[in-house]
Amino acid sequence: MAQAAQESIADGEFGGEYDGDVGNEFDRDTSVTLREPGVYDAELSEGWAILSAVNGGYLLAIVARALRDALPHPDPFTVTAHYLTPSKPGPAVVRTEAVRSGRTLTTGQASLYQYEPDGTEVERVRVLAAYGALDSLSDDVRTSVKPPTLPPPERCLGTEDGPAALPGDSGFTQRVVVRLDPETAGWAVGSPSGKGEVRGWFSLADPREPDPLSLLLTVDAFPPTAFDLGLMGWTPTVELTTHIRSRPAPGPLRVFVTTRNLAGGYLEEDAEVWDSADRLVAQSRQLARAPREARVPEGR
């Protein structure tokens, strides 16, 4: 991690004007180093692991940062990730491909690999994305919905209000500040609402304003909605697609995650992220496997 942190990426032929703040935890831990055109070295930090697996949104931010450098357009507009094998803290390489570049959008693809002991590359995540320039978009907004109401952060519940941390669970929860609406946190004390909703406030523990890259982390940073359905356990993501719809205004983000359909052992999780200016800045949907252990609440 230290090696990667000390070298910020060289500006590429295109874009790459932003190389992060190496003093900030998120920027440091998502940094990528150009190895050769289109190929970037990265170091997956154990700080962003939940139990032994590296968080999927953190991985996505690393891949998106490599694509940002490799493609002629700077901002992820839509990013789809398929999670193939569990990622572990340690070295990784991101191989990017510019699929097609138009005037306003570039389609790109990338894969993140880690290494077997013999050096063989094992693919962890494959990403297909379209990049554009958020700052070139018009200011026309006709959102039909308003952000649902959320209690102020001081009336929401943080990690410190929950049961004792799980062994090995401390990394990720120390790096993000997630404060849950008490209505959607009952699962933590054995009383899930059964609605499949998780809502709350999000910011980074090492303070940094949100941007398109950190939004890719934000959409996958909340407890699984399965918990609120009474299903505690591992909820591995099969596929996660995120649309970044606007550059977020400074300040904390509000995140609303819902599941409408748990069926056949799979569920979708839809996340909406609203910024401090009440703009819907990101929408994501993932298909995940439901936890096997069922703890169905009363009344369902």
List residues binding a copy of itself (CB under 8 A): 77-78, 80, 82, 84-85, 99-100, 105, 107, 109, 123, 126, 128, 130, 134, 137-145, 195-196, 229, 238-239, 241, 243, 245-246, 259-266, 268, 279-280, 283, 285, 287, 300
Output the CA angle 62-66-67, nearest 5 degrees: 115
The type of residue at 178 is: V
Where b means 16+ CB within 10 Å and e means fewer, 184-210 reads bbbbbeeebbbebbbbbbbbbebebeb
Q: Is 167 or 264 the residue whose CB approaches a copy of itself more closely?
A: 264
Count Cβ atoms below 10 Å from residue 45 Cβ, excluding itself.
Answer: 22
Q: Is 9 or 129 the residue whose CB approaches a copy of itself more closely?
A: 129
Which residues on adjacent β-strands are paired with residue 201? Answer: 179, 254
C-alpha span between 159 and 26 (Å, rounded) = 19
Q: Is 6 or 136 the residue whose CB approaches a copy of itself more closely?
A: 136
Q: Is 3 or 143 the residue whose CB approaches a copy of itself more closely?
A: 143
The number of angstroms, rounded, from the C-alpha of 169 to the middle of its chain's C-alpha atoms is 17
Cβ–Cβ under 8 Å, residues 103 and 64: no
Closest CB 57 distance from a copy of itself, rounded Å: 17
DSSP per residue, 164-186: PPPTT-HHHHHHEEEEE-GGG-G
Closest CB 287 distance from a copy of itself, rounded Å: 5
Q: Is 34 or 244 the residue whose CB approaches a copy of itself more closely?
A: 244
Q: Is 45 or 242 the residue whose CB approaches a copy of itself more closely?
A: 242
Closest CB 123 distance from a copy of itself, rounded Å: 7
What dihedral do alpha carbons 158, 159, 163, 167 form, nearest 10°?
170
**Counting every residue, how long is the chain?**
300
Closest CB 296 distance from a copy of itself, rounded Å: 9
Closest CB 150 distance from a copy of itself, rounded Å: 17
Closest CB 138 distance from a copy of itself, rounded Å: 5
Closest CB 268 distance from a copy of itself, rounded Å: 6
Q: Is 1 or 262 the residue whose CB approaches a copy of itself more closely?
A: 262
C-alpha span between 137 and 244 (Å, rounded) = 12
